[in-house]
Amino acid sequence: MSDLKGKVAVVTGASKGIGAGIAKSFAAAGASVVVNYASSKEGADRVVKEITASGGKAIAVQGDVAKAADVKRLFAETRKNFGKLDVLVNNAGIYNFAPLESVSESEFHRQFNTNVLGPILTTQEALNHFGNSGGSVINISSVASVSSMPTTVVYSATKSALDSITRVLSNELAAKKIRVNTIAPGGVETEGTHTAGVIGSDLEKQMIAGTPLGRLGQPNDIAQVAVFLASEDSGWLTGERITAAGGYR
């Protein structure tokens, strides 16, 4: 496994699901981790407890990524507790699938605020905390950003926007030695996909049928790719979009 010893990472939306998996894998690889969450304090505390029980370093920090004041506080707490910043994972994201006829203005803004404005605000603030040796930003997109699955019009648009953000910022921030890459997961079994009713549905069956490796992903499948992108092993990668989906296209 790649080495993250001595690095400090902020993982947004790490109280559950893919974010929790990334936080735990980062800590296992030696990083000090900030476990961000919006409302699930209990979930975030559980992730921190698991990390510290295994000898790792982590703190939980509440903050809505779509609110600039919360984002400022998130990075200030990171600096206060761990002294620096090396890695930012923009994982916090929400999804809700609905046919076009049911798309509302408020749902559009809800998803765009978290999935698009959020990563812009966090990356903007992270610039004030990355040191002279730069940093690694990892955006969690989705296979939905390039697929054309019905009922995902708003969600897919948010993830296409995030792919675009990765490409632009990889170019814009390269002079500061900040690498920006995307991971695009396929279907992953998480608290979110359980709550959204994906697990156990026909959609899950369709996704598995379209996955050569024959199953949904687990958070750890995505976390291992994130550890690589956070580490010096991926030092020559920026502006890339890595699909992590068991071969699903």
> Where does this chain touch ligand NAP (CB under 6 A) — which range of 14-22, 52-60, 100-108, 229-237?
14-22
> Where does this chain touch ligand NAP (CB under 6 A) — which range of 79-87, 100-108, 183-191, 227-235?
183-191
> Residue 178: how many CB atoms within 10 A of its CB?
21
Q: Where are the alpha helices (DSSP H) in 173-218?
A: 191-195, 202-209
**Least Cβ distance, residue 170 to ligand NAP (angstroms):** 19
> Where does this chain touch ligand NAP (CB under 6 A) — which range of 2-10, 59-67, 77-85, 103-111?
59-67
Whether 155 is catalytic: yes
**Least Cβ distance, residue 175 to ligand NAP (angstroms):** 28
Instruction: Kindly tell me which of 16 and 129 has the beta carbon lying closer to ligand NAP.
Output: 16
H or E stretch including 62? strand 57-62
Q: Please identify which residue in the block is written with the tokens 């966090």.
A: 122
The rounded distance, in Å, linking the Cα atoms of 109 and 238 is 29
**Least Cβ distance, residue 55 to ligand NAP (angstroms):** 24
Q: Which residue, among 208, 9, 16, has the nearest Cα to 94 in the 3D structure? A: 16
The rounded distance, in Å, linking the Cα atoms of 181 and 163 is 9
List the interface residues with ligand NAP, window 65-124 (CB under 6 A).
65-66, 91-95, 114, 118
Q: Is residue 248 within the footprint of ligand NAP (CB under 6 A)? A: no
Side-chain-facing half-sphere of 46: CA atoms under 13 Å:
11
Residues in the chain: 249
Q: Is residue 187 within the footprint of ligand NAP (CB under 6 A)? A: yes
What does residue 40 show for φ and ψ, rounded to 5 degrees?
A: -85, 75
Please report, as ranges, the residues that interact with ligand NAP according to CB under 6 A: 12-19, 36-40, 43, 64-66, 91-95, 114, 118, 140, 142, 185, 187-188, 190-193
Q: Which residues are catalytic?
A: 155
